[in-house]
Structure 1
Amino acid sequence: MIEQDLTKIGCHGNWRRYKNNPILKDDWGETFDVTVIQVGEKLRMYLSWRSTNSIAFVEGVDGVHWSEPVIVLSPDFTTGWEDDINRQIVLEKDGKYLMWYTGMKFLGAGERMSSGRSCIGYAESEDGIHFTRRKDPVMEPEEAWEKTNLMCPHVLWDEERNIFRMWYSAGGFWEPDQIGYAESEDGIHWKKHPQNPIFRPEPTHFWEKEIVSACQIFPMDGYYYMFYIGFEDMYKATINVARSKDGIEGWERYPHNPILSGGPEGSWDVEAVYKPWVMHMDGQWLLWANGRRAAVEQVGLYIHDGDNMFEDWND
């Protein structure tokens, strides 16, 4: 009898789970929605840390083993819009670390539940550890489709056009359900695209018929690849991919979506896989994401063996 490879369950093609997932310690509590960047010879992972309502970072070299978390940005109850902060993106530009993040307002004093309103904030740092924030959000929900909810900014610096480009999630109430786009010359004052939302759920695909959200955009081979969450319903989520020539229009979904879905029965990610972050390293693609079992989310690692993730795109 051939033993079943449990690391391959719910994975398309050459994707597999790291065998010792989740990779972040249980005693840290829930961690989710990560950003990973290279800082010298080390990897730095920024993450949302639920028990502290803060953004923290850990360091490592192999994508698997990480240091203890250190908080880099805490809630500020005086601003009126960031009682809880999370879902960050960090990039390095001109010797500074720039962070865009989600700020949420609680329902009332001492009540640790989001009001359903969220905005996008901005902070910067000289060392990527000590951040100074702006007191006001840099983007708020204004358009009808956004409802009261902006989350999950992903920002790239466009060298050719000399602008920042942001893809963000909005709509819904507890979870944003569509993806919008905006541009900025300084990272603070943003102009939203007139055709927003630029990416919507596809009702003919059951795995993303309700929600698309929380994307990472990865420029490669003349395309902007979007790694995003697709929700079948509020409880079941998968990782999917689409691509566009300009990152705004003409999105083409990967024909073999979803690339990652729930793991084997009883596993840490059996019910949902959320918020991807992908990076190429040492001849492999590494993808960190949150997995969920019952009400608990943890961060795990998925690995693509080989350099070409999408050699079967047109199959």
Structure 2
Amino acid sequence: MKRLLLILFVGCLSVAAFAQRPAMMFGDTSRIGVPYSKDPHVVNFKGNYLMYYSIPPLKGDPSSGWNIGIARSKDLNNWTKVGEITPAPGADYEKKGLCAPGALVKDGKVHLFYQTYGNGKDDAICHAVSQDGIHFDRNPTNPIFRPTGDWNCGRAIDAEVFEFKGRYFLYFATRDKEYQIQMQGVATAPVNSDFSREDWVQAADSSILYPKYPWEGKCIEGASIAQKGDKLYMFYAGSYNNAPQQIGVAESTDGIVWKRLSDEPFVRNGKPGEWNSSESGHPHIFTDADGRTYLFYQGNNDNGKTWFITQNEVIWRDGKPGLQ
């Protein structure tokens, strides 16, 4: 009887452990030999889903810098790596690295917005365009945006570009002058823009979302936008990586003034032993062609020795999001 109870107990633990793992667990092992994928962003492009994500420097070669991986899928669950975006020859602004991609499809092309990495306060937002979603041509005006004003340090990372009410909104994370607090800013460009530097105008001379609640710590970053009716919803990461980072949601009617939906996280980090116990972070809310929405985000349970990307469908009831 004791042996039977032990078998049943172990079996229950196995089922519980399996249940804690989501259907999608993507980890790129090509760079350092263990799963390590961060900052997901997905588009539906020419009959496939393409996911852009950050990958670390090559094992044994830190000078290779952070780069961007590309994976392809037919079903949003099973992904195959199909390419990388590495520093372009002659593009000195990104020679130390590039990461944190954001993408949109316009006029049959993929437009990629990404940050330079490794330059501290000088990191900025860049733009590139692709016919096939894999090979990209840089915007000759790169970097296309960095913020100004006494409220920030001049750095811009984690770009998200979204069309709303006849303009493109560029959401970015920046830090204060002391380089301690990470917060959200926004710039806009006309709807007919080619996304060059001269088209972007800073739309607010202060942070549009600043850490407020204890779970947000000293950081709000990784903003991603979905539209429902006449409102925008921003899914954002609160607190620095593994603090733990968790995901919140805010709403806006004009793209500039934002109100949180709750003082608690929308997606928390997991419990001890679960795959995302160290964090659930850097969200991307992907809206498919049929209007269904999926929340992609990163997580790990070893304080950043590995990183996985997962997704859950988001269901909207009475104009508010909830997880499937």
- The corresponding residue for 1:201 is 211
Cα distance in structure 1, aligned partners of 2:54 and 2:306: 11
Asked whether the equivalents of residues 169 and 213 of structure 1 are also in contact (C-alpha less than 8 Å), the reply is yes
Quickly say closer, same or farther: Cα 1:26–1:152, change in 2 above 3 A. same
Tell me the SS of whatever aligns to 1:296: coil
Cα distance in structure 1, aligned partners of 2:249 and 2:266: 7
Alignment map for 1:96-115 (pairs within 5 Å)? 96-105=109-118, 114-115=119-120
Asked whether the equivalents of residues 23 and 299 of structure 1 are also in contact (C-alpha less than 8 Å), the reply is yes
Query: Structure 1, residues 88-112: CA drift from partner, whole Å, max 9, x if none?
Result: 111111122211110124xxxxxxx
Asked whether the equivalents of residues 169 and 255 of structure 2 are also in contact (C-alpha less than 8 Å), the reply is no
Residue 182 of structure 1 and its aligned partner are, at CA, apart by 0.6
Larger RCO, structures 1/2 (Cα 8 Å, 6+ apart): 1
Residue 110 of structure 2 aligns with an amino acid whose one-letter code is Y
Asked whether the equivalents of residues 215 and 226 of structure 1 are also in contact (C-alpha less than 8 Å), the reply is yes
Residue 194 of structure 1 and its aligned partner are, at CA, apart by 3.5
1:133 correspondence with 2:138: yes
- The corresponding residue for 1:109 is none
- The corresponding residue for 1:111 is none
Asked whether the equivalents of residues 97 and 126 of structure 1 are also in contact (C-alpha less than 8 Å), the reply is yes
Quickly say closer, same or farther: Cα 1:24–1:99, change in 2 above 3 A. same
Partner of residue 167 from structure 1, selected from 142, 147, 171: 171
1:24 correspondence with 2:27: yes
Asked whether the equivalents of residues 176 and 213 of structure 1 are also in contact (C-alpha less than 8 Å), the reply is no
Residue 47 of structure 1 and its aligned partner are, at CA, apart by 1.1
Asked whether the equivalents of residues 45 and 59 of structure 1 are also in contact (C-alpha less than 8 Å), the reply is yes
Q: Which has the higher strand share?
A: 1
Cα distance in structure 2, aligned partners of 1:177 and 1:164: 23
Alignment map for 1:1-315 (pairs within 5 Å)? 18-19=21-22, 22-29=25-32, 30-51=36-57, 53-71=66-84, 73-76=85-88, 78-82=90-94, 83-105=96-118, 114-135=119-140, 136-158=142-164, 160-161=165-166, 163-172=167-176, 177-185=182-190, 186=193, 187-188=195-196, 189=198, 190-202=200-212, 205-231=213-239, 235-249=243-257, 251-255=258-262, 257-279=264-286, 285-292=293-300, 293-304=302-313, 306-308=315-317, 311=320
Tell me the SS of whatever aligns to 1:287: strand
Quickly say closer, same or farther: Cα 1:17–1:310, change in 2 above 3 A. farther
Cα distance in structure 1, aligned partners of 2:57 and 2:318: 35
Asked whether the equivalents of residues 17 and 274 of structure 2 are also in contact (C-alpha less than 8 Å), the reply is no
Residue 69 of structure 1 and its aligned partner are, at CA, apart by 3.9
Tell me the SS of whatever aligns to 1:81: helix
TM-score norm. by structure 1 comes to 0.80
Aligned residues, how many? 292
Asked whether the equivalents of residues 171 and 178 of structure 1 are also in contact (C-alpha less than 8 Å), the reply is yes
Cα distance in structure 2, aligned partners of 1:18 and 1:67: 19
Tell which structure's C-alpha radius of gyration is larger: 2
- The corresponding residue for 1:11 is none
Tell me the SS of whatever aligns to 1:207: helix
Asked whether the equivalents of residues 58 and 67 of structure 1 are also in contact (C-alpha less than 8 Å), the reply is yes
Asked whether the equivalents of residues 18 and 303 of structure 1 are also in contact (C-alpha less than 8 Å), the reply is no
Q: Which moved more, 1:139-148 or 1:38-47?
A: 139-148
Residue 246 of structure 1 and its aligned partner are, at CA, apart by 1.1
Cα distance in structure 2, aligned partners of 1:287 and 1:309: 18
Gaps of 5+ in 2: 1-7, 59-65
Asked whether the equivalents of residues 224 and 283 of structure 2 are also in contact (C-alpha less than 8 Å), the reply is yes
Tell me the SS of whatever aligns to 1:255: coil
Quickly say closer, same or farther: Cα 1:278–1:191, change in 2 above 3 A. same
Residue 134 of structure 1 and its aligned partner are, at CA, apart by 2.7
Cα distance in structure 2, aligned partners of 1:207 and 1:269: 16
Residue 80 of structure 1 aligns with an amino acid whose one-letter code is D
Asked whether the equivalents of residues 98 and 124 of structure 1 are also in contact (C-alpha less than 8 Å), the reply is yes
Q: Which moved more, 1:240-249 or 1:193-202?
A: 193-202
Cα distance in structure 1, aligned partners of 2:45 and 2:234: 24
Q: Which has the higher helix share?
A: 2
Cα distance in structure 1, aligned partners of 2:185 and 2:316: 30
Residue 210 of structure 1 aligns with an amino acid whose one-letter code is K
Q: Output the aligned Cα RMSD.
A: 3.2
Quickly say closer, same or farther: Cα 1:304–1:312, change in 2 above 3 A. closer
Tell me the SS of whatever aligns to 2:57: helix
Gaps of 5+ in 1: 9-15, 106-113
